[in-house]
Amino acid sequence: MVTVVSGTKSFDDVFEEHWHKIFCITPSRDPPKCDPSVLEYFGVLSLTDIRSPDRKLWYIYYSKQPEVDETLNRIFHKYGKKNMCEIFRKHTFSGVGLRARVKAYFYDKKWHVKGNILEAPAKTSCNSDQMLKMITDLYNEERRMLYGFLCMKHNGIRKHFY
C-alpha cells in the first residue's frame, strides 16, 4: 500500500509504515474500515470582498465529515458562493486544535484575526498560493507532533515490556 512518488515516500505512507512496525501489525489487503462520522476536516476558503477587492481575506472552518457540506453551504450563504474559493481541506485529528494553531500563528504574524476570518495586512503581497503553503506547513507540523507523541508513548511502553 506504500506509494512512491518520484523516489520518496509521502509522510502518510511513512507514518502508516511506522504504525505497522510499532504495533507489529501486518498490513491488510482490505481497505480500512473506519467510521466517517468521527473524521474531522479542516479547511480554508479564499474570500473576496466585493466592496474592497484589494483586501486579502481567508475563512477557516472545521467540521465532522457528514457535516462538511452543511457547513460549507452555511458559509456560502453568508458570504456568497461566487466570492469564495476553497483552497485547502484535509482530515485532521482535531479540527479545533488545528484552528487554534492557525489563528495563533497568524496572530503572531500581526494579521487581523477575528473569529474564523484571517486578513492579511494591507501592504502584504500574500496570495492564495502562499496561504496554502503556510496552512500545509502548519498541518504537517500538527501531524509530526502526533507522530512524535505516539513514538514517545511506544518507547515508554517498550521499556517496561522488553
pLDDT for res 3: 45
pLDDT digits 0-9 by tens, 4-20:
445 677 877 787 787 77
Residues 8 and 67 in one domain: no
Residues 54 and 85 in one domain: yes
Residues 2 and 80 in one domain: no
Residues 85 and 154 in one domain: yes
Domain count across the chain = 2
pLDDT over 50 at 133, yes or no: yes
Residues 11 and 87 in one domain: no
Closest CA to 42 of 105, 103, 88, 106: 88
Residues 6 and 24 in one domain: yes
CB 28, CB 70: distance < 8 Å? no
Residues 104 and 123 in one domain: yes
CB 86, CB 60: distance < 8 Å? no
pTM recorded for the entire structure: 0.73
Residues 48 and 17 in one domain: no
Residues 24 and 73 in one domain: no
- Single-letter residue type at 101: R
Count CB atoms within 10 A of the CB of residue 21.
Answer: 10
Average pLDDT over residues 40-69: 89
Residues 134 and 65 in one domain: yes
Q: CB-based contacts of 2: which residues, under 8 Å, 6+ apart?
A: 9, 13, 16, 17
Range of the domain at 13: 1-33
